[in-house]
Chains A and B, each alone.
Chain A
Amino acid sequence: MISARVLIRPKEGILDAQGKAVEGALPALGFEGIEHVRVGRIVELRAEDDRRLEELCEKLLANPLIEDYEIEIL
């Protein structure tokens, strides 16, 4: 078995409403000078091998229209 971590994030150029909301909250909490906050997600999994991970990302874990993904084999 292998362990893999998939990082999924909104494509560059698409308004990331969650990231914007987080960024908007920062000054009130005293965090100054932080910008370009993007919120994505991480999926961790184990698999027999890495052959179909790409397909898994394309079909389910990410929506290629709006999201980029990176697969990291651990």
Chain B
Amino acid sequence: MIWGVLQFPGSCDERDALHACEVATRELVSGGGGPADDVSGRGGGTSPAAPIDRSRLVWHEETDLSGLDGIVVPGGFSYGDYLRAGAIARFSPAMTAVAEFAEAGGPVLGICNGFQVLCESGLLPGALLTNESTRFICRPGELIVGESDSPWLAGLEPGEKLSIPFKHQSGRFFAPPEMLDRIEANGQVAFRYAQGQNPNGSLNDIAGVTNEAGNVLGLMPHPEHAVDPLAGGTDGLKIFRGPARTAGAAGA
């Protein structure tokens, strides 16, 4: 599985996201968690670069996503969050390419600012407002997996609890009543904040939603910061594994 992680001026989580993609893919290639240098081609071999080595950052001016199997729109403050978070990033050349990629069914994950960008782009329903408290929050938290057929949730059970860091100031999910009903009825709620943990006033405790097809997922918490036991756990990998698993099964 070859990943592309977008990089806007003002992005700040793109390297963690790329690392998470690589860890998830390496784990898959090696069949479960251990080092896989022999397979990945790292460590001095002469074999051509394995997919894991070809995952890369995608600068916001790029328009060619060919060869990529999955896209991550990372967290941060794209274009300084001027006007509204994600409002200007939406018009970047790379986002036009991402919209086409998503339309063709490619897996797209938006985290935090990336979630905001995907909502502003219309690739995901709803909008993210300033936290009810108006404060920036940064702490560990728990999510509950929703009932969704999204490939991003492959391998996760509805109701399963994940420990994923919360880190945002504009994370209050909002959608007008009819849209909210539709999101709920279609099974587009991928994640909710665990009971009593809604950190921002999001409607229905929604922490993450998918598009109708399920291939585009956006969530406010940060799975890319939860991929190492030394840094608070590895639950984030469970999300990155979804499409990687599918791609692996298809022989990619």
Contact = CB atoms under 8 A, between A and B. Distances in A.
A14 interface: yes
A60 interface: yes
Interface in A26-74: 60-61, 63, 65-66
A21 B175 CA distance: 22
Given A14-B174, A60-B83, A60-B87, A65 B127 contact: yes
B87 A63 contact: yes
Interface string B109-147: 000000000001000001101111110000000000000
B87 A66 contact: no
Interface size class of A (residues with CB under 8 A): 10 to 19
A61 B133 CA distance: 25
A14 B174 CA distance: 9
Nearest to A10: B129
Interface of B is mostly: loop
B130 A17 contact: yes
Contacts of B83: 60-61
A65 B129 CA distance: 11
Contacts of A66: 127, 129, 174
A65 B131 contact: no
A17 B133 contact: yes
Nearest to B175: A65
Contacts of A61: 83
Interface residues of B, number: 20
Interface string B52-65: 00000000000000
A18 B130 contact: yes
A5 B120 CA distance: 23
B134 A14 contact: no
Contacts of A20: 134
Interface string B130-169: 1111100000000000000000000000000000000000
Nearest to B86: A63
Given A15-B201, A18-B134, A21-B134, A63 B174 contact: no
Contact of A63 (B127, B131, B179): B127
Contact of B129 (A14, A21, A60): A14
A36 to B, nearest CB: 17
Contacts of B175: 65
A17 B132 contact: yes
Contacts of A63: 84, 87, 120, 127
A38 to B, nearest CB: 13
Nearest to B130: A17
A61 to B, nearest CB: 7
Interface of A: 14-15, 17-18, 20-21, 60-61, 63, 65-66
Given A17-B130, A65-B174, 15 more contacts: A15-B129, A17-B129, A17-B131, A17-B133, A17-B134, A18-B130, A18-B134, A60-B83, A60-B88, A60-B91, A61-B83, A63-B84, A63-B87, A65-B126, A66-B127
9 contacts: A15-B129, A17-B130, A18-B134, A21-B134, A60-B87, A63-B120, A63-B127, A65-B126, A66-B129
